[in-house]
Structure 1
Amino acid sequence: MPKLYEALADAFLAEGVDTQFVLMGDGNMHWSTAFSKLPGVETVHVRHEHVTVAAATAYNVATGKVAVASVTCGPGVTQLMTALPAAVRARLPMVVFAGESPINAKFYNQAIDQAPLVTATGARYIAAHSLPRMMDYVREAFHIAKTERQPVVLGVPYDLQKVEHMANQPYETSEMYHPKVGRMHPDPEVVAEAVERLAAAKRPIIFCGRGVLWSGARDAVIKLADRSGALLANTLPARGLFHDHPFGLGIAGSYFSSLGREMFESADLIVAVGTSLSYYTGVGHYWGKSFKIQIDDAPRGLRDGQKAADIYVKSDSRVGVEALLAGLDKKLGSGKPTAATIRTKELEHRIATEPADAMKFDIAPDVLDPREVVKAIDAVVPKDWDVVVGGGHQAYFNTQMKGRPADRYTTIREFGAVGNGLSYALGVAAARRQGRNGKIVLFEGDGGLLFHIQELETLKRQGYRILICAMNDGGYGSEFHKLRADGLDDSLALFGRPALEKISQGFGLRGHEIRDVSAIPKLFADFSAQGESEIWNIQISDQVTAPVIRQTIKRGHGNM
């Protein structure tokens, strides 16, 4: 008779799971082994529990599928406390198969109450303690993950996993219980009010988030922008959403380009689509003169301590945008222009040619301007490659790369944690399944890369090819720039410039130090011609301060 862990593995397969990110221990080793043996399953064994969830979040961004991570009980679960909040806040669905300490043991040294730890992050916890309801627990976990777009941790005592189990009926998947409700439609009166505002606006901008990707609304948004004469912009998670549109401003908010900030500060109307309008979108700092309309399936009104918008169109993104488009034609007549005047030939030229940030800095001769580094990398890496980004000060510069679509860009920044870049790249590599022909570039800081440097061994063992661009400024850039601005000692934020390329070589991978951007084309050609991952230890100046940090310093660090 089969064991329960085998039945649980079969249930996960029935839910459509084809990849697991796992660090094995007593509490999950039977399940993860059984699941790895099932047809079509890719198993990525990582070297730290945090990485299981962090990689799974990136896998979800890259594929749209519910991601699965697995850890053991006790210490395995406590190691997830940084990765889970990021997935929660980014609304990324995931199921974590976690062991629990043996339910029948009188003592177990790894025992801890896991549920309050998990729920404190905002994730859901299901304690699977009833044998007759085990398949119900699995179905409920996937149902919650899909319908509520959040991580769910399924905790199963590992002594129960080993009992014999014979199902009385075939497993019923969560999809069988998914309500077929169709897309959410907006209130016609609210739409009419929004149409009045859009028709009269002279300097409108349509600003979009990940909800546009989830809804498949990109084409409809572009039609609305062209019909209304509006400019286009996007959030950081949706970077590249309008990469090929001549009036696309790129990212708005903390990662503005100079031109983007200028346009938002002079806009008279912002139509925000598929974004929750968080603090970092700039709604409270740069949109003061504009009237704001939000199209979203869950508008909050009060977001991050500030008013999000003036009109709320509660709707699926695509349906709401199409309603505004139809409303304009009804009000003005088909093809008749709105009052918008913001689109000009001059602006189109500025968008195409102006650098994102032209601030001058004194740069020593043996180190590089990170903006020039990114420009050189952008010139040689094909546009169909995935770009993955970690966190920290270095993360601004690569966001200004040109002509790269949103479905080839991955970052999860909603919790503000650094050290995730290598984990995210692993998740994307597993999603693409390109192996030693991988087309993935990771941008990460030197400090962030060292957080989980052990995952270089995972890259080698799994046979993934990733180009890791380590932007090495010799410390924690965000911190030393702020300390300097406050006139304080920055020495504790500086730790020298480790030979990251030699660390990479120690794991059996490739590595190079870069102090001259002219070397980049040949190095990339050499990388593309072989099949191993590689670190470029790029020596960048610690004097170049990203605009987001300059804004923080000007406002006063900690003054939100």
Structure 2
Amino acid sequence: MNTSANIATTMMTGHAAMARTLADCGVDTMFGVLGDANMYYVSEFLKLPDTHYVGSAIESGALGMADGYARTTGRVGVASVTHGPGAANCINAIIEAVRARTSLVLLCADPPPVKHYPQEIDLPSLFGGTGARYHVVLAPEHLVEDIESCIALASRARVPVVLNVPWRIADGEVPYQPQSPVGPTIRGGNPSLDDLDEALGVILSARRPLVVAGRGAVEAGAGPALSRLADLLGAPLATTAGAKDLFKGHPYNLGLTGDVSAAWAFDVMNESDCVIAFGASLTQFSTSNYSLLRSRRVVRCDTDPTKFGLYWRADVNLCFDARATAEAMIGQIEAAGTAPSPFRINALGEGTLSRNPREEFVDQSSSEFIDMRAAMVQLEELLPANKTLVSDGGRFKIAPWRYLHVEDSKRFVQTLGAWGSIGLAIPVAIGSAVAFPGDLTVCACGDGGAMMSLIEFSTAVRQGLRLVLIVMNDGAYGPEVVRLQARGYDPAPSLIAWPEFAAVAEAMGGHARTVRSVADLVGLRELIADLDRPLLIDFKCDPFVDPRVF
């Protein structure tokens, strides 16, 4: 707490002190569901200038919205819930936030000290298995300092923090002093020449180098430096999902690595003899079950030393900032005058910019169904370039991840890789849309994942968000169809007749379209350009056409 003698301490209710401290720390947007634990401090928060509260339909939605807001802005997301069931509803979403390393604070509360209170639950035990940090305010004089500390911890450690403000403290009097805004996170240091010696030895001895960027490279602002490094090495460029479109427009950009790679791009990656990864975790998913790493030299740069060897043991690890490391490598290579490898020119000729995405697959659209891939290629031509893209998980993801694009890699968010849960994308997309109200947010879901959180479409309607929800509706849990058939089982249990998504969206007050062919997309560009409330597009797809098969 700021205890400077020239700043007066004021006594006020805990609710008012909570609101003011959040604002002092730079929080201007809060997501939540009101209840006995939080309705008073949320009301106090809204009395303050330039504050915004988004009420969700369910607490898991509020947590997801705070998650999406934090991921796309780089700020701390704040969600507020009530006692017992309100906190319990957040478990799945907070695990996703933990695994995604989201800077987030969840405000919850022990209930009033009443015997046999029905919403009583052991909050430390409830959140103990999620991986989130947990803190309880023990005394009124700790409240302001604890809020500031938890926001700072969430920001600097990139971790969700569960802050329990018991009812007895929030509803009593507490001392308040104004707080300073939480400062930015300071990234890792710069490597010395000696630090780079072994890595450059491996890199410059490679005949077919490949540069791969992950989320850490995006956060470090390393895109231009990595492009220059790849040019000096004669290396093609690729990204994990966390850095999607970082190298968009570069003539030797291969796009996404791993199980979402285009077949031609995967073939080029597979020819490499050295992978140079910046800020990428190199999981089994981003490396096609490590096939892109086996029998190759691997150099890895990351600011988090705990990630080294977590999935794959690299030949050389550099624990430094991605941008600083790339720039230092560039200086050394330029000074040495080393000639670039001919690898990317031999493999790709003049580059990849002239490639037609429609030539990457055989369009399997029919009179009843549209091919997911053809749908996304056409949709990309109708959408503005400056947009946010949020994706749920499932086999459908191949199409939007590969064929929808963003201008800023920070504004692509996927909610599957960290925790493996479907059904989280719609709330995350709403939080992202709140963060960038003037731009379009596109949320891509399968039908199963969409149904799990479709109720929050009503929140997007109430907020008047420029949100396009695209549902790849094959009437099935798609991966299960494939796997059941592969083992000779009847896939019928994985096929589900959902209600008509368009009718549900319109009943909630949104726009809606049902699409079975490219012709059904006529007029969509104009609708999106003047979008005054959310739009749901139900793409009818064949459950027995697998977008992963070319």
The CA deviation string for residues 256-276 of structure 1, in whole angstroms up to 9 with x for no partner, is 111221122110111000112
What is the CA–CA distance in structure 2 between the aligned matches of 1:14 and 1:264, rounded to whole Å?
Answer: 48
Q: 1:191 to 1:530 in 2, by over 3 A?
A: closer
Letter in 2 for 1:115: P
Give the counterpart of 1:390 among 384, 392, 399. Answer: 392
What is the CA–CA distance in structure 2 between the aligned matches of 1:179 and 1:307, rounded to whole Å?
Answer: 27
The alignment status of 1:170 with 2:178, answered yes or no, reads yes
What is the CA–CA distance in structure 1 between the aligned matches of 2:272 and 2:258, rounded to whole Å?
Answer: 14
Aligned counterparts, 1:253-272, within 5 A: 253-272=258-277
The alignment status of 1:125 with 2:134, answered yes or no, reads yes
Q: Residue 112 of structure 1: CA displacement?
A: 0.9
What is the CA–CA distance in structure 1 between the aligned matches of 2:206 and 2:159, rounded to whole Å?
Answer: 37
The alignment status of 1:288 with 2:294, answered yes or no, reads yes
What is the CA–CA distance in structure 1 between the aligned matches of 2:462 and 2:505, rounded to whole Å?
Answer: 13
Aligned counterparts, 1:166-315, within 5 A: 166-167=175-176, 169-175=177-183, 183-186=188-191, 188-282=193-287, 284-300=290-306, 303=309, 306-315=311-320
Structure 1 unaligned regions, length at least 5: 552-560
Give the counterpart of 1:81 among 91, 95, 111. Answer: 91
Contact residue 201 and residue 340 of structure 1 kept, 8 A: no
Q: 1:142 to 1:403 in 2, by over 3 A?
A: closer
Give the counterpart of 1:408 among 400, 411, 435. Answer: 411
Letter in 1 for 2:483: K
The CA deviation string for residues 45-89 of structure 1, in whole angstroms up to 9 with x for no partner, is 000111111111111121111111111121111111111111111
Q: Residue 444 of structure 1: CA displacement?
A: 1.2
Instruction: Tell me the equivalent position of 2:106.
Output: 96
The CA deviation string for residues 408-447 of structure 1, in whole angstroms up to 9 with x for no partner, is 322232111111221122111110123xxx5122211111
Q: Residue 490 of structure 1: CA displacement?
A: 1.4
Give the counterpart of 2:124 among 115, 123, 138. Answer: 115
Instruction: Tell me the equivalent position of 1:152.
Output: 161
Contact residue 214 and residue 242 of structure 2 kept, 8 A: yes
What is the CA–CA distance in structure 2 between the aligned matches of 1:125 and 1:494, rounded to whole Å?
Answer: 40
Partner of 1:343, secondary structure, is: helix
Aligned counterparts, 1:4-23, within 5 A: 4-23=14-33
The alignment status of 1:27 with 2:37, answered yes or no, reads yes
What is the CA–CA distance in structure 2 between the aligned matches of 1:14 and 1:530, rounded to whole Å?
Answer: 35
Instruction: Tell me the equivalent position of 1:491.
Output: 492
The CA deviation string for residues 192-223 of structure 1, in whole angstroms up to 9 with x for no partner, is 11112222222111101111121111111111
Structure 2 unaligned regions, length at least 5: 1-10
Instruction: Tell me the equivalent position of 1:70.
Output: 80
The CA deviation string for residues 83-137 of structure 1, in whole angstroms up to 9 with x for no partner, is 11111111111111112222x3333111111113223111101011211111221
Letter in 1 for 2:426: L
Instruction: Tell me the equivalent position of 1:504.
Output: 505
The CA deviation string for residues 4-27 of structure 1, in whole angstroms up to 9 with x for no partner, is 111111111111111111111111
Aligned counterparts, 1:360-379, within 5 A: 360=362, 364-379=366-381
Contact residue 387 and residue 410 of structure 1 kept, 8 A: yes
What is the CA–CA distance in structure 1 between the aligned matches of 2:182 and 2:377, rounded to whole Å?
Answer: 46
Letter in 2 for 1:66: V
Q: 1:325 to 1:474 in 2, by over 3 A?
A: same
Question: How high is the TM-score relative to the length of structure 2?
Answer: 0.92
Partner of 1:353, secondary structure, is: coil
Q: Residue 543 of structure 1: CA displacement?
A: 2.1
Indicate the RMSD between aligned Cα atoms, in angstroms: 2.2
Letter in 1 for 2:411: R
Contact residue 140 and residue 175 of structure 2 kept, 8 A: no
Contact residue 476 and residue 493 of structure 1 kept, 8 A: yes
The CA deviation string for residues 322-379 of structure 1, in whole angstroms up to 9 with x for no partner, is 121122123x23xx41345333484444564154884548654211111110011011
Q: Residue 239 of structure 1: CA displacement?
A: 1.0
